[in-house]
Amino acid sequence: ARVEDGSGWVAGAADTVVTAAHIFFPAGETIDPRSCIFRLYGADGTVRAAARVRYMRSPWTDRRMRGDSAQDVAVLKLDRPLAVTPVAAHPRGLGAQAVRLLSFPAGGGDGPSAASGEAHAFPLGPVHDAVAGLRVSEPGRLFASSVASAPGSSGGLYVARGGMVVGVHVGRMCSGGECFGFGVRFDAALMAMVAAVAADQAPPPLRLASR
């Protein structure tokens, strides 16, 4: 399914969606997710259902986290459940393996794209490039990909052989003359965030320490 100019996928519950956070923070702005409609597309490109977004949970709602690619994920709660077919996620470490990126690139019509390539370990350490606006605090949460992508692919799912979902596509970067796509793994932190939104749990309270 497509969310604004990106992709998103139902995960954890029939009214819960995982996507990339930067879709809601374009060029330093903030899009209120409650103004967005999530459309569920079939394999033939037709709209099967639509629902409004009730709320969003994402590390990027904290301005200190914003711009960190290792935290570039968002989980949406819809105002009603959608009928979907469940697939399993893969929370373990991701070795080199063949994957497909399922997404809805901008300008590609309403049908989904399924581009193939290989996923492998993220090749960089922590990154902080103020000029390029790139930051990676936890490279272990990311993996690199040779799969071709385009604007609108953000929030797409990487799927390994057998249909196991391994991560969420969040962008492309270049280092040493080599450019590659990259995604956030379905690690324990992301799985916990999905589970909390699926259960409609309130976020934990902010704890302040007195000195």
Interval 126-139: pLDDT, tens: 877 776 667 899 99
Q: Would you call 185 exposed, middle or buried from its count of C-beta atoms within 10 A (0-12, 13-18, 19+)?
A: buried
Q: Which DSSP state fits 89?
A: B
Which uninterrupted H or E stretch holds 143? strand 142-145
Tell me, yes or no, if the two domains 2-86+189-198 and 97-186 fold the same way: yes
How much is the pTM? 0.86
The answer for 34, left when phi > 0, alpha when psi is -120 to 50, beta otherwise, is alpha
CATH 2.40.10.10 assigned to 97-186: yes
Instruction: Give the pLDDT confidence score for residue 192 in this predicted structure.
Output: 93
d(CA 74, CA 136): 16
Both tokens assigned to 196: 């909390």
- The percent of residues above 90 in pLDDT, for the chain, comes to 50
Q: How is domain 2-86+189-198 classified at the architecture level of CATH?
A: Beta Barrel (2.40)
d(CA 49, CA 32): 21
Q: Would you call 46 exposed, middle or buried from its count of C-beta atoms within 10 A (0-12, 13-18, 19+)?
A: exposed
User: What residues form DSSP beta bridges with 172?
Assistant: 181
Range 79-83 contact pairs with CB under 8 angstroms and sequence separation of 24 or more: 79/15, 79/51, 79/52, 79/53, 79/54, 80/15, 80/51, 81/13, 81/14, 81/15, 82/10, 82/14, 82/15, 82/40, 82/48, 82/49, 82/51, 83/14, 83/48, 83/49
Q: Where are the chain's structural domains?
A: 2-86+189-198, 97-186
Instruction: Give the pLDDT confidence score for residue 106 in this predicted structure.
Output: 66
Which uninterrupted H or E stretch holds 118? strand 113-121
pLDDT for 82-109, tens place per residue? 988 776 666 555 668 899 998 887 655 5
Mean per-residue pLDDT of the chain: 84
| Position 168, amino acid | V
pLDDT band, very low/low/confident/very high, at 1 (cuts 50, 70, 90): very low
Instruction: Give the pLDDT confidence score for residue 210 in this predicted structure.
Output: 41
